[in-house]
Amino acid sequence: QLGETAAELDCRAYVVGGFVRDLFLFRKNEDIDVVIEGDGIAFAKTFANAHGARTHTHEKFGTAVITFPDDFKIDVASARMEYYQFPASLPVVEMSSIKMDMFRRDFTINTLAIELNPDKFGRLLDFFSAQKDIKDKVLRVLHNLSFVEDPTRVFRALRFEQRFGFTIGKLTSSLIDNAVKMDFFKRVAGKRIYTELKLILKEEHPAPILLRLLDYDLLRIIHPLIKIENDLQRLLETAQKVTDWHDLLFIDESYERWAVYFMTLLCHCDLDATLEICNHLTIAPRYRKMFGETRIMMAEHLTRLERRKRMDNAQVYNLLKGLRTELILYMMICTTSDTAIKRISKYHTQLRHAAITLSGKDLLDMGLPPGPLFSRTLQAVLEAKLNGRVRNREEEIAFARQ
Ligand code: CTP
């Protein structure tokens, strides 16, 4: 249908990029990117009108998003010469618009396009040997200036390398080394680095990617205050184990896994360094608080969980109650003490769900005067329940009466 609309408008439509790459890798991908040789915005509007969808357009970039009533989206871009600005030394003359659009992309594996117009429907365009590179499992840039054009592609390279189990081509690898050596990143805003870092942290297996960043000395680029100690590899591997453990046990509970990994990277940073990193990366205030003050306060709690010889359930509960899952998991990652790990995991699997049936109304019925004594009594009953001294409603009432 996309192809039919294109034919009606006398332009050509192609599905491109990650969607086509993932077809060849047998991976699921629901992000559809369409490139129109011609006016992408006019195409998107016509198509949306005919199919009961909405469009959101960016005239300046010649792009549009078509959104269907079920929220399914298609991104549309225009392949037109005037949208491209290449460094003068690149051989871009006499390329068709679609080839030019592919040429401006990051890696060869992202340069496949499939024609959608009915006359050539399904024809694959492979201008830069993408199929061969996918088959050989290598990641290559299209030209030597790729990282000059956009240094954040270095992060994408390592993300794709690990996600697909590819290797980075020799030349591409030396171009990354060069980008680091020449510090191409000094012109890149912290916000863009943060966006790329988050994409890495949101991958299924972020740890190997972060270790690869370390190989290329790129963690320093995220921020020079991120302290790289010898235990980074162990910490990241533990982060993977701990989050896997959590995700298996609490399949329905959502939390921000990427934030756990981010805190793992920050684990040797003090409050000042953390705040400086957050500022540089323009991290939102609610995360800033979790990554900064709360995380550092947790380190003190952790010391208690590690060192105190005897701690009953109520003491563990009182120390950890109300903490976000991200921080609970972070504490489990940071400690090497079995005692602390057992205490934290007991809290997370059992104690945090503890509840009593006794309410303020019950206390009123018992003749207790409303006031601070109410909450103290309820707290004492809860603690008794956590420590196994009361088990049911009768025992709760009897305990409250004492
Ligand atoms: N692209 C690029 N340079 C960048 C970012 C993106 O050339 N810095 C190109 C890529 O070729 C990619 C396309 O823009 O195919 C769309 O990028 P993105 O939305 O990140 O999609 P994917 O490559 O599919 O990545 P992912 O699988 O992580 O969604």
**Bridge partners of residue 67, in order along the sequence:** 54, 73
Determine which residue's CA is closest to atom 27 belonging to ligand 1. 18
Looking at residue 248, what is its pLDDT?
92
Tokens standing for residue 253 = 């509970």
> SS3 of 54, please?
strand
Nearest atom (ligand 1) to Cα of 156:
8
Distance 153 CA to ligand 1 centre (A): 9
Q: Is the pLDDT of residue 296 over 60?
A: yes
What is the per-residue pLDDT across 250-260, written as a single tens digit (0 to 9) for each?
988 999 999 99
Q: Mean per-residue pLDDT for 268-274?
A: 91
Q: How many residues belong to the chain?
A: 402
Ligand 1 within 6 A of 348 CB?
A: no
Ligand 1 within 6 A of 396 CB?
A: no
Ligand 1 within 6 A of 190 CB?
A: no
Looking at residue 74, what is its pLDDT?
94
What is the per-residue pLDDT across 150-206, written as a single tens digit (0 to 9) for each?
999 999 999 999 999 999 999 999 999 999 998 888 889 999 999 999 999 999 999
Helices 257-265 & 206-215, crossing angle to 10 degrees? 30
Ligand 1 within 6 A of 246 CB?
A: no
Q: What band does 231 get if pLDDT is binned at 50, 70 and 90? A: confident
Looking at residue 94, what is its pLDDT?
57
Strand intervals (E) in 71-206: 73-78, 112-115, 124-126, 138-139, 167-168
Neighbouring residues of 65: CB distance < 8 A, sequence distance ≥ 6: 44, 55, 56, 57, 73, 74, 75, 76
Determine which residue's CA is closest to atom 25 belonging to ligand 1. 18
Ligand 1 within 6 A of 25 CB?
A: no
Nearest atom (ligand 1) to Cα of 19:
24
Q: What band does 361 get if pLDDT is binned at 50, 70 and 90? A: confident
What is the per-residue pLDDT across 13-49, written as a single tens digit (0 to 9) for each?
999 999 999 999 999 998 999 999 988 999 999 999 9
The Cα 369–Cα 93 span in angstroms is 87
Q: Mean per-residue pLDDT for 316-339?
A: 93
Q: In what order do the strands lie in the sheet with 112-115?
A: 54-58, 63-67, 73-78, 32-37, 12-16, 112-115, 124-126
Ligand 1 within 6 A of 152 CB?
A: yes
Identify which of 130, 149, 127, 147 has the alpha carbon closest to the alpha carbon of residue 139.
130
Tokens standing for residue 198 = 């988050």
Q: What band does 247 get if pLDDT is binned at 50, 70 and 90? A: very high
Identify which of 356, 359, 351 has the alpha carbon closest to the alpha carbon of residue 391.
356
Ligand 1 within 6 A of 153 CB?
A: yes
Looking at residue 85, what is its pLDDT?
64
Q: Is the dihedral of CA 225, 228, 231, 233 positive or negative?
A: positive
Backbone φ and ψ of 150, nearest 5°: -150, 95
Distance 18 CA to ligand 1 centre (A): 7
Rounded to the nearest integer, the mean pLDDT of the chain is 90
Nearest atom (ligand 1) to Cα of 150:
8
Tokens standing for residue 341 = 């790990």
Probe residue for ligand 1, chosen from 156, 162, 172 as the CB with the greatest number of ligand atoms within 8 Å: 156
Helices 313-320 & 338-349, crossing angle to 10 degrees? 80
Q: What band does 129 get if pLDDT is binned at 50, 70 and 90? A: very high
Q: What band does 81 get if pLDDT is binned at 50, 70 and 90? A: low
- Predicted TM-score (pTM) of the model is 0.90
Q: Is the pLDDT of residue 80 over 80?
A: no
On whether ipTM exceeds 0.95, the answer is: yes
Which residue type occupies 211?
Answer: L
Probe residue for ligand 1, chosen from 106, 111, 164, 204 as the CB with the greatest number of ligand atoms within 8 Å: 106
Pair 169, 129: CB distance under 8 Å: no
